[in-house]
């Protein structure tokens, strides 16, 4: 048998395997400038390039990070930045055996004809941008689109999300980047967990239908799903065991074992909650590497500890390692709070 030949196929499969390596997961620091500005504002800092660089330098130069982190997703500005003493950020990552990644989507805009839903832009010029990112050292990509349960979701929004992800995945692979496929099903809403399961099954069925139609090599992709939980405003909370049961049931029904890794987003869960849920999912063997690609659940304490002060950098880096190690243990199913 063979998987579809492209000059990059072997490399894509290797990159995906390296990212999905035991006890490691992804540090997502690909906040757009606008979102990064909100994070900086929460500790009283202005949204300047200098402050964004200082914050990303703190994260990317944490000594020992590569023990727990296999990939880091960067925003375009960060991919081309260096430390204040002139080391390229991509080289800092490579020295820790961390694969540099890049957010390639251009964000969400309203989807006309839908129920107040959105679609994700960024396919125009994606091939040439991806080739540039590869040259700069990126080896994987991320495209995040969203699906809203309270808004329907409409058949149109689901189809658009799935098709956009599949086109992006094919273009990324053609340019040597492992695509992270991320249809985030937003936590917002008061729906029960069974409704989330139903929507997630529908969304992933369409995503895989179009991935196959676009001849995407499944061995060279990674997924970034939301966990299957009740809506954030639902009257009952679910335990980590229940979330793990629902989420794994959904994934086993929809995701072929050829896919090497499932790297969850944290989606607004607290740091400890996100770790406990991941740990619950790794209590028995899974067909894929089940791990994390957290942004907020790895960075909340780091930001609070840093406060923009150089004298706090070391303490902030230590707090990043605490969360990274906890999630590493959760990937191995060995975390206890
Ligand atoms: P959160 O883990 O904060 O939900 O971020 C997810 C994401 O897509 C960032 O890359």
Among 140, 295, 298, 303, name the best residue to mutate to test ligand 1's pocket (greatest count of ligand atoms within 8 A of Cβ): 295
302 Cβ below 6 A of ligand 1 = no
Q: Which residue among 76, 265, 291 has the greatest number of ligand 1 atoms within 8 angstroms of its CB, and so is best to mutate?
A: 265
Of 136, 79, 56, residue with least CA distance to 313: 56
For the segment 264-284, what is each residue's pLDDT rounded down to a tens digit? 999 999 999 999 999 999 999
pLDDT for the residue numbered 7 = 87
Check whether 108 has a pLDDT greater than 70: yes
- Cβ atoms of 320 and 69 within 8 Å: the answer is no
Query: In this model, does residue 2 exceed pLDDT 70?
Result: no
Per-residue pLDDT tens digits for 198-229: 999 999 999 999 999 999 999 999 999 999 99
Tell whether the model's pLDDT for residue 66 goes beyond 90: yes
pLDDT at 14: 98
More confident residue, 124 or 337: 124
Q: Tell me if 296 CB under 6 Å of ligand 1.
A: yes
- Contact assessment for residue 149 and residue 197, using Cβ atoms and an 8 Å cutoff: no
This model of the complex carries an ipTM of 0.91
Ligand 1 centroid to residue 84 C-alpha, Å: 27
Among 227, 269, 296, say which to mutate for ligand 1: greatest number of ligand atoms within 8 Å of CB: 296
- The 10 Å Cβ neighbour count of residue 299 is 24
For the CA of 265, the nearest atom of ligand 1: 2
Residue nearest (by alpha carbon) to ligand 1 atom 5: 295
Q: What is the pTM of this model?
A: 0.97
pLDDT, tens only, 156-176: 999 999 999 999 999 999 999
Cα 16 vs. chain centroid, distance in angstroms?
13
Is residue 284 classed exposed, middle or buried when 0-12, 13-18 and 19+ CB atoms within 10 A define those classes?
exposed
What is the 75 CA–ligand 1 centroid distance (Å)? 12
Question: Region 238-256: what's the mean pLDDT?
Answer: 98
User: Is the CB of 147 inside a 6 Å radius of any atom of ligand 1?
Assistant: no
| Dist CA 140 CA 13 (whole Å) | 11
The answer to whether 137 touches 174, Cβ cutoff 8 Å, is: no
- What pLDDT, in 10s, does the model give residues 46-57? 999 999 999 999
Residue 5: pLDDT over 80: no
Q: Which of 225, 260, 216 is nearest to 20 (CA)?
A: 260
Q: What is the pLDDT of residue 3?
A: 59
Task: Tell me: pLDDT of 1 over 60.
Answer: no
Strand 118-120 and strand 108-110: the pairing is antiparallel
Q: For the beta carbon of residue 59, count every other beta carbon within 10 angstroms.
A: 23
Query: What atom in ligand 1 is closest to the CA of residue 269?
Result: 4
Please state the φ and ψ torsions of residue 239, each to the nearest 5 degrees: -80, 160
């Amino acid at each position: 048998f063979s998987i579809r030949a492209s000059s990059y196929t072997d490399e894509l499969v290797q990159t995906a395997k390296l990212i999905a390596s035991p006890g490691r997961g992804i540090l997502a620091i690909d906040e757009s400038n606008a979102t990064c500005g909100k994070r900086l504002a929460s500790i009283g800092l202005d949204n300047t390039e200098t402050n964004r660089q200082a914050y990303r330098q703190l994260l990317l130069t944490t000594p020992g990070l590569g023990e727990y982190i296999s990939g880091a997703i960067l925003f375009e500005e960060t991919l081309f930045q260096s430390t204040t003493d002139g080391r390229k950020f991509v080289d800092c990552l490579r020295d820790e055996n961390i694969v540099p990644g890049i957010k390639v989507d251009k964000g969400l805009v309203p989807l006309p004809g839908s129920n107040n839903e959105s679609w994700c832009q960024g396919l125009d010029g994606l091939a040439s941008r991806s080739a540039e990112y590869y040259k700069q050292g990126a080896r994987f990509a991320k495209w995040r689109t969203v699906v809203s349960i309270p808004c329907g979701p409409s058949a149109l929004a689901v189809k658009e999300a799935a098709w956009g992800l599949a086109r992006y995945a094919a273009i990324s692979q053609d340019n040597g980047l492992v695509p992270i496929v991320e249809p985030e099903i937003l936590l917002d809403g008061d729906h029960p967990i069974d409704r989330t399961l139903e929507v997630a099954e529908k969304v992933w069925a369409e995503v895989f239908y179009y991935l196959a139609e676009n001849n995407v090599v499944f061995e060279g992709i990674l997924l970034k799903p939301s966990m299957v939980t009740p809506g954030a405003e639902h009257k009952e909370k679910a335990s980590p065991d229940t979330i793990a049961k629902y989420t794994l049931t959904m994934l086993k029904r929809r995701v072929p074992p050829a896919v090497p890794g499932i790297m969850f987003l944290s989606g607004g869960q607290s740091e400890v909650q996100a770790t406990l849920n991941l740990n619950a999912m790794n209590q028995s063997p899974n067909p894929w590497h089940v791990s994390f690609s957290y942004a907020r659940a790895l960075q909340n304490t780091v930001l609070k500890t840093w406060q923009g002060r150089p004298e706090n950098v070391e303490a902030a880096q230590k707090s990043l390692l605490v969360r990274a190690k906890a999630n590493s243990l959760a990937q191995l199913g060995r975390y206890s709070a």
